[in-house]
């Protein structure tokens, strides 16, 4: 799965971070542009938006229902949603800014019209939101386009995910474990699903759509095999809107990327062998076999003649049993480290 400059594989060390802008631009082109630049500066590999054709996506009765609360942008849901949607004419500009910043731009199409629009722009990939996993017409339309797809799976079963993969046909697909709660509590994250996905879908890159409110669980997911990470992003967690409060601000996103890089490096090798960086500390902390008292040439060693003391300069303490019963070929002073070459 290629995301921007990253080629991500299911078992390789490389990972990709997607900054989920969603509707956190609050319908402002200026904020959207600033978020793209900030996400790139924080080390994200991509920014993801959400694209809706309001009239074709919702029923008329749903659009006209009252929607009056602390985050409402209008008296009914339709006016609220229209206020948050960026006009299509600004998308080329957003893609241009992303290109200048060296970051991938893509979006979640919530309906067929939006899918066709995004494809016409030449976006490199699509995102399927958790609520759209069962949208057969949308998935089949994506399958015909044959661009890579990132599939969020909040509220799904393994069977539902498998059915979505069938509908997406020959598309390259990455599957993200997701809990469709905003935010998601730690006890609802179910990160073990990442391992289950890796066992069931053996040729697919697995990732995490991370709705947890801190940066803590990304590294855990990486260690379990996740390689794509989507995290909600905002410039101001106190801004008006449902997603801002659990999104990461720039300082948080920068730390999220940093910790994932550290985790990737820390995974290291499964070959357990002493490292060069351990040599000096282990000499200081380790122990060698030393004379417990003055020893005469030819003396046969007993447990009372030797001790294990730091530093580990000389015959290592793990050779204790090999020293017992041997004769020293020269005199030793108290605390002098024994040498294997002086024992017979």
- Give residue 328's domain range: 276-342
Pick the last residue of a domain from 267, 289, 316. Answer: 267
3-state secondary structure of 2: strand
Q: Which residue has the tokens 């820390």?
A: 266
Contact between 191 and 224 (Cβ < 8 Å): yes
CATH code for the domain of 293: 3.90.1210.10
- Residues 45 and 95 both lie in one domain: yes
Structure token digits, residue 231 = 């995290």
* Residue 65: CA count within 13 A, CB half-sphere: 6
Domain-embedded: residue 4: no
pLDDT computed for residue 187 by the predictor: 98
Instruction: DSSP for 83-127, please give it.
Output: HHSPPGGGHHHHHHHHHHHT-EEEEEE-SHHHHHHHHHHT-S-EE
Overall domain count for the chain: 2
The answer to the question of residue 3 being in a domain is no
* pLDDT, position 259: 98
The mean pLDDT value of the chain amounts to 96
Do 247 and 282 have their domain in common? no
The answer to whether position 204 is within a domain reads yes
Domain final position from 267, 299, 324: 267
Please give the share of the chain, as a percent, with pLDDT higher than 70.
100
Report the DSSP beta bridge partners of residue 16.
Answer: 228
Domain presence at residue 2: no
Residue that is last in its domain, among 267, 292, 315 = 267
Predicted confidence (pLDDT) per residue in 297-328, tens digit: 999 999 999 999 999 999 999 999 999 999 99
How many Å apart are CA 107 and CA 142, to the nearest integer?
A: 13
Q: How does pLDDT run across 43-57, given as a tens digit for each residue? A: 999 999 999 999 999
- Please give the Cα distance from 241 to 182 (Å, whole number): 12
Whether residue 195 is found in the same domain as residue 309:
no
Are 177 and 225 part of one and the same domain?
A: yes
In degrees and rounded to multiples of 5, residue 337 shows phi and psi of: -65, 140
Task: Say whether both 172 and 228 belong to one domain.
Answer: yes
- Between the alpha carbon of residue 41 and those of residues 14, 35, 36, 229, 259, the distances in Å are 19, 10, 9, 17, 16
**Per-residue pLDDT reduced to its tens digit, 25-38:** 999 999 999 999 99
245 and 289 assigned to the same domain? no
CATH of the domain at 142: 3.20.20.70
From the list 265, 314, 264, 268, the residue with the least C-alpha distance to 289 is 314
Q: Tell whether 15 and 42 lie within a shared domain.
A: yes
- Residue 219 and residue 320 in one domain: no
E strand intervals along the chain? 2-3, 6-7, 16-22, 46-51, 104-109, 126-128, 149-152, 173-178, 205-210, 228-232, 288-291, 306-309
- Rounded mean pLDDT of 141-165? 98
Taking the mean position of all CA atoms in its chain, how far away is CA 58? 33
**Are residues 122 and 193 both part of a single domain?**
yes
| Residue 77 binned pLDDT confidence (cut-offs 50, 70, 90) | very high
Give the 3-state DSSP-derived string for 30-44, with helices as H, strands as E and coil as C: HHHHHHHHHHHHCCC
Sign of CA dihedral 226, 227, 232, 237: positive
- In 10 A of CB 104, how many CB atoms? 24
Domain assignment present for 312: yes
Q: What is the pLDDT of residues 116-150, one digit of tens each?
A: 999 999 999 999 999 999 999 999 999 999 999 99
State the pTM of this model.
0.91
Neighbours of 179 (CB within 10 A): 24
In terms of domains, do 23 and 148 share one? yes
In contact, 1 and 228? CB cutoff 8 Å: yes
């Amino acid at each position: 799965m290629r995301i921007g400059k990253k080629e991500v594989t299911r078992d390789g060390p490389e990972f990709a971070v997607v900054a989920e802008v969603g509707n956190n631009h609050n319908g402002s082109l200026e904020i959207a542009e600033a978020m793209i630049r900030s996400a790139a500066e924080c080390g994200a590999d991509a920014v993801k938006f959400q694209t809706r054709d309001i009239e074709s996506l919702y029923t008329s009765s749903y659009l006209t229902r009252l929607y009056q609360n602390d985050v409402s942008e209008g008296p009914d849901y339709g006016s609220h949603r229209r206020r948050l949607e960026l006009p299509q004419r600004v998308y080329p500009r957003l893609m241009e800014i992303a290109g200048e910043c060296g970051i991938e731009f893509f979006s979640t199409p919530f309906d067929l019209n939006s899918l066709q629009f995004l494809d016409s722009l030449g976006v490199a990939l699509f995102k399927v939101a958790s609520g759209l996993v069962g949208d057969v017409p949308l998935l089949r339309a994506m399958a015909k386009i044959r661009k890579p797809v990132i599939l969020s799976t909040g509220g799904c079963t393994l069977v539902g995910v498998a059915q979505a993969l069938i509908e997406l046909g020959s598309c390259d697909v990455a599957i993200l474990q997701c809990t469709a709660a905003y935010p998601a509590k730690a006890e609802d994250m179910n990160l073990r699903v990442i391992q289950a996905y890796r066992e069931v879908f053996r040729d697919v890159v697995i990732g995490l759509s991370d709705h947890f409110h801190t940066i803590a669980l990304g590294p855990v997911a990486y260690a379990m095999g996740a390689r794509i990470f989507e995290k909600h992003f905002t410039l101001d967690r106190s801004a008006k809107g449902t997603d801002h409060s659990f999104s990461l601000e720039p300082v948080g996103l920068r730390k999220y990327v940093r910790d994932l890089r550290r985790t990737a490096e820390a995974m290291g090798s499964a070959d357990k062998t002493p490292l060069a960086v351990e040599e000096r500390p282990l000499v200081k902390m380790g122990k060698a076999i030393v004379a417990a008292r003055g020893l005469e040439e030819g003396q046969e060693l007993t447990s009372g003649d030797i001790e294990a003391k730091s530093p580990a300069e000389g015959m290592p303490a793990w050779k204790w049993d090999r020293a017992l019963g041997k004769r020293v070929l020269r005199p030793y002073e108290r605390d002098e480290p024994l040498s294997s070459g002086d024992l017979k």
